[in-house]
Structure 1
Amino acid sequence: MAGSKGREGEMLESIYSVLALVFILVACVELGDAATVVDVYRLIQYDLAGVPFGSRLASLNHHAGSLPFAPGADLSRTVVIIPFREVNITFLRDYIMQRQPLGGLLLLLPQNISSESREEAEEGDRNNGKELIRSELAELEKLLVHVNIPYPVYFAFEDDKITAVLADVKTNDATGQPATATTGGYKLVVSTPEPKKLASPTITNIQGWLPGLKADGDVNQLPTIAIVASYDTFGAAPALSVGSDSNGSGVVALLEIARLFSLLYSNPKTRGRYNLLFGLTSGGPYNYNGTFKWLQSFDQRLRESIDYAICLNSIGSWDDELWIHVSKPPENAYIKQVFEVSHYQRKSHKNYLK
């Protein structure tokens, strides 16, 4: 959570058409040939603390090329199509960091992450193949979202249409003649206005409240437990982000906790002596900007009544472990007991695994 001045500058600068599905037209420039339409998804662009990341460009109208290309080749008017299985992360990182000229980049993703990986066919290990694809996709995404790329970048899923186009592009490249309006080849076209920043991105937070039970009936004097989860996710292509564990798992847990405690609090006999505050906040991947704005909206009395806050994030771990992060050692005896028990169990679980 953030509490310092200038956090709004760290919020994602949303841009026009980032979340929209864009169409790419792969057209043959030779007269009489047909066009192929493929769904594509644009690389995210955002500012973090005033530093631009992702790509600021969206429109394309360049000829298609493929790997490998000759060293020193002029690719300033070429969109390179690269299937994920052919991506060399090291080469791509160096190419981007050196600001080499490129008309654009189209990355082809596998339809299903369970598809065979590069080494899976030889080793016959499907599970290892899935993990290899996941790790390489994560590495590619990390590269693309942490640099400022000076050309348009799009993603598409492999299918028969795009595979056939890529095969033709490779055949043309093998002749040694770059595709031009006179030699023929494919041209990739995305007709869209260049994206614009939104000066004031909309942040929507959702709040729920269960009043506790106090003898004199003044619930405003009761301490409050806040249970919070951010509901949005982050990815290299916003339209492709799924976020099952970032933070779908936290949202599901919060809703279930709210459901269970609403049943308990509906009966005075089972109502606790704490107010329960539930919050679904946006801007989680951007320094919890939505949570910060949500806290700012509280009046001072409510803010000071919060005795304990639980932020649920990425709790759908596959290794049966939950991690607890605390800003300082808890003072409340009951909360301290929960923390110490969970800490002991985590250490015991690690020793057991050894």
Structure 2
Amino acid sequence: TTTTKAEETTTVQPTTKPDVDTTGKNVKKGGYVKKNVSAYNLKLEEVTEVEKGVRYYVYKECNNGYSLIKVGNQELLVETKYITYKCNAKKIVNTSDKKYSYSDMKVDLKKLEKAYGSILKVDIAGKSLDKRNLYYVTLGNAKAKKTVYVETSVHAREYMNTKFMMKVIEDYCRGYDTKKYKGKKYSTIFNNVKLVIMPMVNPDGVTISQYGPKKIRNAKLRENLYKIAGGVDFKIWKANARGIDINRNYAEGFDRGDAKIPGHKQYAGKTPISEPETKAQVSVVEKVKPDVVICYHQAGEVMYHLNHTKLSNMLYSMTHYTHIISGQTHYGTFSDYLDARNILNCTLETGLTPAPVKNSMYKKIYKTNKDVLVSVAKMYL
């Protein structure tokens, strides 16, 4: 039996639904869903579920009762009635935690990236001697042409700056679509000037300062720490897990410090850039090519910089930390490395001495510095 062309034409059925009309009002900002709901493709076939407390980029509110949003690498539809433009993510960083350990930070980074993955990316620049990840965070538009780089907790006992910085990261994410700084929306600032932040450069050292060598997993490193400590209270430890001060390990002015053997501070090591933490910082700086760098240390409420600049004057107006001109002599510090490459930088020493700073200082440190990074980023718009 044969079939005519006319019969063939009448028996063919469409196998897919036609695309729905997605015309409507442009939104182009971050949004959240009021509860976990289904997301659909342009044929209104269910593809996945989107979660409350996760920021999604919303392209438009369509005339058909749906909104077009970005989910991963897909553009999908969600019923508009479930969209809200106010952040409804749960707060993550616990600032009442007196120590705020590497483990706390690691857990929080994962949660922050889940909630704000459209504007926050977490990467690993390497591993410490005791195999802890050396994390860095990119906040804002990863393709932005301007970059502010930030480091904290290079020195182990200065770990309160990690807690403060993690809270700032969360604040900026929560307010990304709704808050302004001096008339400019966070989204406008960070879409054009990204922040790249290394919130704990020296996680082994922080662990030693907080818990002593007992939390160092590598037996050889742990045994050696007891040998090189020289009776020093581990709470005031500044170095990494083999007694090398990361902020003396750069080539510029290498081995100019006082310490000639491994210990809790100021020993530069046998060769420049020998430590994984130093190498990680260099690799990130070479990758992102920052326009400006802010280094957070403790303590003393002072600020170090090579010369008076628009940046240092602005930071003084915000913090009232005492200016200290660092001068041309190099000591193997990260700032020396940056100065040698003509990268503008400033070091802010938060809190009152001695370090580790008393936890009662946290609120003042946070209040004084919470707008520093958004202010620096705004300078480069």
After TM superposition, the score normalised by the length of structure 1 is 0.22
After TM superposition, the score normalised by the length of structure 2 is 0.21
